[in-house]
Structure 1
């Protein structure tokens, strides 16, 4: 199964695929990708924007108006602005996080880059991300784009996911393995 077929299996994947195809046809993949990075940052920074995308209490019309205002404030391209409006009018803003991830995976596949999700207990700096990227490239023989996330619950170490592969070097997993060994 190729990446696009796997992505299209989900609702969020179908929306991401439609946006990717439009961006590709309009020769605006880089622009739309940058816009979606801006949206991702806004979701991380603004509790109000997150609430707008997650709350079932906000009606479709109100959500569409609010998304249009947010798109103007974020200075998004017409493609990205219209796409957010479609999500709002269709009641699919709750899928935005999954759509952003799927779109990023489609862009990476289009560019011949493998996407790696890296979870750490603390934010990684540019030097650490660069070293990790080099090690993953050496191990898998492909360019790697890193989607870094922070989850303090892993306590330390890293969890790296690339496609169906997972490398779990987290302290939490090691403690759990030790606890299970002591029980047995």
Structure 2
């Protein structure tokens, strides 16, 4: 399965595939995905957690102890928690974001969903997320899972990447094209 999907390759792809197959066998794909999504959100919000995950200066034991405390406090348990602990014990916690991305791709493929990477300047409301999902579903004919990333540097608008297609309606891009056009005109 990993070879069929180019976004699921390498070390992170192998870990994601193993996790997906285990979750599928245990009929807990949605629970594992929810736990990984929660961990991914915590990772994007906490500089300390990012440092714990990425820094090679922590020993595996120190990483595991800190990670266990984080997982216990956040209520992440079961397969997802055990998987994150295995990544830590194998000194592979630094690839966790890639593993989560690959796992999401496998889940989407399994469910017949398309996955869109969306970059926004600020967090979208549930109403706006639903509107975006509906618009993308009308284009693809499939349910669309969203990987939303907040990047204030785009100033406003959205950048949507769905498969090989990309729509960049960010204010930054529009301003750059206006600046470029004015340079050519002047």
**TM-score normalised according to structure 2 size:** 0.89
Aligned position for 2:133: 133
- Distance in 2 of aligned mates of 1:42 and 1:152: 18
Unaligned runs of 5+ in 1: none
Seen in structure 2, the aligned counterparts of structure 1 residues 142 and 2 have a Cα distance that, compared at 3 Å, is farther
Runs (4 or more) in structure 1 with deviation over 6 Å come to none
Q: How does 1:71-150 map to 2 (within 5 A)?
A: 71-150=71-150
Secondary structure of the 1:147 match is strand
Unaligned runs of 5+ in 2: none
Seen in structure 2, the aligned counterparts of structure 1 residues 105 and 8 have a Cα distance that, compared at 3 Å, is closer
Q: How many residues align?
A: 184
Q: How much has 1:70 moved relative to structure 2?
A: 2.2
Alpha carbons 2:8, 2:105 under 8 Å: kept: no
Q: How much has 1:40 moved relative to structure 2?
A: 1.6
Does residue 1:161 correspond to 2:156, yes or no?
Answer: no
**TM-score normalised according to structure 1 size:** 0.90
Does residue 1:31 correspond to 2:31, yes or no?
Answer: yes
Deviations 1:9-66 (A, max 9, x none): 2321221111111111111111111111221222133332222101121111211222
**CA RMSD of superposed structures (Å):** 2.0
Secondary structure of the 1:7 match is coil
Deviations 1:78-111 (A, max 9, x none): 3112211111122211111111111112111111
- Distance in 1 of aligned mates of 2:159 and 2:94: 26
Alpha carbons 1:117, 1:161 under 8 Å: kept: yes
Seen in structure 2, the aligned counterparts of structure 1 residues 26 and 137 have a Cα distance that, compared at 3 Å, is same
Seen in structure 2, the aligned counterparts of structure 1 residues 127 and 119 have a Cα distance that, compared at 3 Å, is same
Q: How does 1:35-74 map to 2 (within 5 A)?
A: 35-74=35-74
Seen in structure 2, the aligned counterparts of structure 1 residues 45 and 154 have a Cα distance that, compared at 3 Å, is closer
Aligned position for 1:182: 182
- Distance in 2 of aligned mates of 1:132 and 1:168: 14
Aligned position for 1:5: 5
For structure 1, which segment, 65-74 or 23-32, has the greater mean C-alpha deviation from structure 2 after superposition? 65-74
For structure 1, which segment, 66-75 or 56-65, has the greater mean C-alpha deviation from structure 2 after superposition? 66-75
Alpha carbons 2:19, 2:83 under 8 Å: kept: yes
Seen in structure 2, the aligned counterparts of structure 1 residues 94 and 172 have a Cα distance that, compared at 3 Å, is same
